[in-house]
Amino acid sequence: MLRTLDLLASDPSHLPFLFVFKESGVMEKYGFEIDLHIVGGAKAPTMAHRAKLALAGEIDFLSGLHHETYRERAKGEKRLTYLAQAQNNWDDRLVALPKIERIHDLKGQKIVCHSTAPCVAGNLRAVLESCGLKPDEIHIEAVKDSSGKFLQFVDRLTSGEAAAALVDMPFDLYGIKKGLKIIDLPDRPVIHNTTLLATTDYIKQNEETVYAFIKGFIEALHFFKTQPDKVIPILKNNLAKRYGLEEDEYYVHLQREWARLLSKKPYPLASAIQNVYDLDVGKDPAMRNIGPMEPWDLHYLRAIDDSGFIDKLYAS
């Protein structure tokens, strides 16, 4: 009989990979199945429940919590630990009116953003500034929306309410089909979406489970990247109702673009860790004595990698 592991997703933006992780069956050979929970549901009604549930031992693993680990360490709570990072490059897409030719054309224009989180709205502002816009020339209307359904953000452009909108995939394709365009943004390393976290208490008491879960995590990355014919139906079956998008082409697009972004070896980039630190943590005087690497423990992933497990997976 399979043992159930509770995995909590911080945001719907994590779901394309996590649904595939759950339904690919990669954990079954290790004796486990995944019960996937999402913030906003019964297990964790709000974001504030995430760390509390993990620290209370009421979930096994958590996806996300990109800033709170540092806050907790500043208070003396050091148990929250990152184990792996599935994606190091920003995946949000900037959809714009046809008249917008380049980022400079957004000077003083309203840009709707689907999240108030520093790793979304903060990264958008930083990218626009890096492209030459001054702080007072950037008009971002950040909306706290945890539905994962961003049709309305694109529709606000077609109705003339804004010049551009930052959305998750596959709503970029929805925008293109509505006659809008995608403005290319510079690559930006980020700690974003599926960052695998557990507590030191849990890790010490369940080392074999941790190793198995990280191996399954790695195998799910391989499955997502190499089995599009199996991944696309999983994406559509689990996300079509949430997204309000029924056509297959959206899930073909989603698989293709995420497959490109997901890492074969789920190590975080040093520049991505520094980015999340600079966006939020380093600006808080209470956290300035907390180093960027303190919440990370990659030696379990390293042991799996050094065994040749990942190389053999892709060689086959």
Judgement on whether residues 150 and 275 belong to the same structural domain of the protein: no
Higher-pLDDT residue of 49, 193: 49
Instruction: Please tell me the predicted confidence (pLDDT) of residue 118.
Output: 76
Lowest mean pLDDT among 162-176, 235-249, 279-293: 279-293
The 10s digit of each residue's pLDDT in 122-181 is 889 999 999 999 999 999 998 887 777 889 989 999 999 999 999 999 999 999 999 999
Q: How far apart are CA 123 and CA 134, in angstroms?
A: 15
Check whether residue 217 and residue 286 sit in a common domain.
Answer: yes
The reply to whether 276 and 152 lie within a common domain is no
pLDDT of amino acid 316: 76
What residues make up the domain containing 39?
3-88+191-315
**For the chain, how many structural domains are there in total?**
2
What is the predicted pLDDT for the residue at 87? 93
Kindly report the CATH number assigned to the domain that includes residue 123.
3.40.190.10
**Residues 40-85 pLDDT 10s:** 999 999 989 999 999 999 999 999 988 889 889 988 999 999 999 9
Mean local confidence (pLDDT), 7-11: 95
| pLDDT value for 115 | 82
How much of the chain, in percent, has pLDDT values that exceed 90? 80
Residues 311 and 231 in one domain: yes
Check whether residue 172 and residue 141 sit in a common domain: yes
pLDDT tops 90 at residue 282 = no
Residues 143 and 222 in one domain: no
Check whether residue 112 and residue 64 sit in a common domain: no
Domain co-membership, 245 together with 112: no
Domain-ending residue, one of 158, 183, 208: 183
Identify the domain boundary among 131, 162, 183.
183
Picking from 120, 150, 183, the residue at the C-terminal end of a domain is 183
Judge if 197 and 310 occupy the same domain.
Answer: yes
Residues 208 and 309 in one domain: yes
Question: What's the pLDDT band for 271 if we cut at 50, 70, 90?
Answer: very high
Which position has the higher pLDDT, 70 or 220?
220
Domain shared by 233 and 144, yes or no: no
Kindly tell me if the per-residue pLDDT of 193 is higher than 70.
yes
Q: Which pLDDT score, from 0 to 100, does residue 148 have? A: 73
Averaged pLDDT of the chain: 93
**Residues 71 and 207 both lie in one domain:** yes
How far apart (Å, rounded) are the C-alpha atoms in residues 58 and 258? 30
- Average pLDDT for 187-204: 93
Integer angstrom CA distances of residue 118 from 94, 101, 262:
16, 26, 21
